[in-house]
Chain A
Amino acid sequence: MKKVYLDNAATTKMADEVVKAMNPYFSDKFGNASCLHSFGQEARDAVENARKIIADKINAEPEEIIFTSGGSESNNLAIKGIAYELKGRGNHIITSKFEHPAVLNVSKELEKQGFKISYLNVSRDGFIDLEQLKQSITKQTILVSLMHANNEIGTVQDIEKIGRICKEQNVLFHTDAVQSFAKVGIDVKKANLSLASFSAHKLHGPKGIGALYVKKGITIKKQIHGGSQEFNQRAGTENVSGIVGFAKAVELMKEKDIEKMNTLRDYFIEELLKFDGTSLNGSKENRLCNNISVSFKNVEGESVLLALDDKGIAVSTSSACTSAKLEPSHVLKAIGLKPEDSHGTIRFTLSKYTSKDDVDYTLNSLKYVIKKLRGISPE
């Protein structure tokens, strides 16, 4: 059976080149990067070379990049690291209603500890209310944490605009750039970023490795104590193979890949919207090159997912029908989607390996699946 993987916002296939680049660091080049002997120095060189590649990609300095275990750790380290470091100066943090759980649940945890969190509204087409941001900043505000690209609906926020607001008000700015990294250009200086979270496995790199950009001069409270690795900001023996794979994945992502995904995405959206009872979630403009989030009337997302899986096609639902409360996705709720439309929402996320043939096969299968499910659904 044909297999089509359209869940690249969940994770991606590792590029062959990435696997090849990593392999020596599992066997021959196994050294601990903290050791002075040649084994250690070989690993150290690989780590520092990778750090530079990632720093260059976002116009940062290598010493501003801290390797972590992934996006969730980066978000935890950024937000808790600033909150605990600056709690003497203020206890207010601003974020939005449609952040990833790795930001939302950190915020909720901090709330329990006495911090005040403002959750900004999101517009119907998926953009954070910047007027509300301006009005929400107070003398107590120590951090603004707003995501770059949304993981469910793919809308990309104007981080340079947000950065200007934060600069004017002299507040630190963190962005969760896990979905956007290497797909949307990020210049940490232009965006006045203080911190930014990245992950490797969303761009054909390995799982279990990520990074946090921390602007020079900004101190964060360490969250993992131990050795003095990563400029004494995150203890633990470096994941050398992961770091090497991460940098390779970043190097491999080219402008032409993004253009290819953009074209395929637009074609996919155009064809999907020809179906009866479909609507696109999130703006068509300022949208990730690989995200298509569509609500289908009169079907339930999980049923569509499983029926497509039967045809070899992997997609994702946005609706959290599995939660005990049957609450629809917080992202779709934040953009004001009606619960009945949330339940019929499917996210398709492309990669540079997705072909037009894959998309056509998916469109044909979808036509069949939606018709079948609507056929057994009450009118």
Chain B
Amino acid sequence: MSFKYSDKLMRHFHNPKNAGKIDNADGIGIVGNRSCGDVMHLYITVKNNIIVDIKFKTLGCAAAISASDLLCELAKGKTIDKAMKITKQDLVELLGGLPAPKLHCSLLAIDALHKAIEDYTIKNQLK
């Protein structure tokens, strides 16, 4: 490993504030697979089109865990539309940069959020 993670990233890694599972979540996004090393589960609770609660469970490296935690922080309290506008670049910048081989970790977090919102949208339409 010939790179160094930022202090901010390491704070998210050591003390993730949003780790956990939401029972009866309104939407769940699952991405990644074990053979690639990263698996992310993202849970959202939505009220009046706003993400009022969001939690993650991640098996992965420090970049994956901190990206998950930061994403939850960013998405919480946002409307679905605004949450959908969070980009990979936002995460990378706020994490103080990521080395090239770790960029996919931020993408994975965004994917998980999109899948959770998609899951919510489908379930909501069925109601």
Q: Which residues of A contact B (CB under 8 A)?
A: 298-300, 302-303, 306-307, 310, 319, 321-324, 326, 328, 338-340, 343, 375-378
Q: What chain B residues lie within 8 Å of A298 (beta carbons)?
A: 59
What is the CB-to-nearest-CB distance from B70 to chain A, in angstroms, rounded to a whole number? Answer: 14
CB <8 Å contact, B35 and A377: no
CB <8 Å contact, A323 and B101: yes
Q: B50 interface residue, CB < 8 Å from A? A: no
CB <8 Å contact, A299 and B59: yes
- Of A303, A326, A377, the residue contacting B36 (CB under 8 A) is A326
CB <8 Å contact, A324 and B101: yes
Q: What chain A residues lie within 8 Å of B14 (beta carbons)?
A: 307, 310
CB <8 Å contact, B57 and A376: yes
A302, A307, A322, A340: which has the most chain B beta carbons within 10 Å? A302
- Of A303, A310, A322, A338, the residue contacting B1 (CB under 8 A) is A322
Q: B41 interface residue, CB < 8 Å from A? A: yes
B69 — nearest CB in chain A belongs to which residue?
A376
Q: What chain A residues lie within 8 Å of B62 (beta carbons)?
A: 302-303, 306
CB <8 Å contact, B61 and A377: no
What is the CB-to-nearest-CB distance from A315 to chain B, in angstroms, rounded to a whole number? Answer: 12
Q: What chain A residues lie within 8 Å of B56 (beta carbons)?
A: 376
Q: How far is the CA of A299 from the CA of B59 in the complex (A)?
A: 6
What is the CB-to-nearest-CB distance from B30 to chain A, in angstroms, rounded to a whole number? Answer: 8
Q: How far is the CA of A302 from the CA of B35 in the complex (A)?
A: 15
CB <8 Å contact, B37 and A343: yes
Q: What chain B residues lie within 8 Å of A310 (beta carbons)?
A: 14
CB-CB contacts of B33-50 with A at 8 A, as 1s and 0s? Answer: 011111111000000000
Q: What chain B residues lie within 8 Å of A328 (beta carbons)?
A: 37
Q: How far is the CA of A46 from the CA of B62 in the complex (A)?
A: 48
Q: Which of B75-118 contact A (CB under 8 A)?
A: 99-102
Q: What chain B residues lie within 8 Å of A299 (beta carbons)?
A: 59
Q: How far is the CA of A376 from the CA of B72 in the complex (A)?
A: 14
Q: What chain A residues lie within 8 Å of B20 (beta carbons)?
A: 376
Chain B contact patch, size range: 20 to 34
- Of B13, B37, B101, the residue contacting A306 (CB under 8 A) is B13
What is the CB-to-nearest-CB distance from A339 to chain B, in angstroms, rounded to a whole number? Answer: 4
Q: How far is the CA of A58 from the CA of B57 in the complex (A)?
A: 53
CB <8 Å contact, A377 and B100: no
CB <8 Å contact, A321 and B37: yes
Given A322-B101, A375-B19, A376-B16, verify A300-B60 contact (CB < 8 Å).
Answer: yes
Is chain A's interface secondary structure helix, strand, loop, or mixed overall? loop
Q: How far is the CA of A306 from the CA of B40 in the complex (A)?
A: 19
A375 — nearest CB in chain B belongs to which residue?
B19
Is chain B's interface secondary structure helix, strand, loop, or mixed overall? mixed
Q: What chain A residues lie within 8 Å of B61 (beta carbons)?
A: 300, 302-303, 321
A310 — nearest CB in chain B belongs to which residue?
B14
Known: A326-B37, A378-B39. 18 other contacts (CB 8 A): A299-B59, A303-B60, A303-B61, A303-B65, A307-B13, A307-B14, A322-B2, A326-B101, A339-B34, A340-B35, A343-B34, A376-B16, A376-B19, A376-B20, A376-B58, A377-B57, A377-B59, A378-B30
22 CB-based A-B contacts, threshold 8 Å = A300-B37, A300-B38, A300-B59, A300-B61, A300-B64, A302-B1, A303-B60, A310-B14, A321-B101, A322-B2, A322-B3, A322-B99, A322-B102, A324-B100, A324-B101, A338-B35, A339-B34, A339-B36, A343-B34, A376-B16, A378-B39, A378-B57
Q: B10 interface residue, CB < 8 Å from A? A: yes
A309 — nearest CB in chain B belongs to which residue?
B10
B56, B100, B101, B102: which has the most chain A beta carbons within 10 Å? B101
Q: What chain A residues lie within 8 Å of B16 (beta carbons)?
A: 376
Q: What chain B residues lie within 8 Å of A340 (beta carbons)?
A: 34-35, 37
What is the CB-to-nearest-CB distance from A335 to chain B, in angstroms, rounded to a whole number? Answer: 16
What is the CB-to-nearest-CB distance from B86 to chain A, in angstroms, rounded to a whole number? Answer: 21
Q: What chain A residues lie within 8 Å of B2 (beta carbons)?
A: 322
Q: What chain A residues lie within 8 Å of B5 (beta carbons)?
A: 306
B34 — nearest CB in chain A belongs to which residue?
A340
Q: How far is the CA of A376 from the CA of B56 in the complex (A)?
A: 8
B40 — nearest CB in chain A belongs to which residue?
A378
Q: What chain A residues lie within 8 Å of B60 (beta carbons)?
A: 300, 303
Q: What chain B residues lie within 8 Å of A319 (beta carbons)?
A: 37
A310, A322, A376: which has the most chain B beta carbons within 10 Å? A376
Which 7 residue pairs are nearest across A and B when measured between Cβ atoms?
A340-B34, A376-B19, A377-B59, A339-B35, A343-B37, A302-B61, A378-B57
B33 — nearest CB in chain A belongs to which residue?
A340
Q: What chain B residues lie within 8 Å of A343 (beta carbons)?
A: 34, 37
What is the CB-to-nearest-CB distance from B26 to chain A, in angstroms, rounded to a whole number? Answer: 18
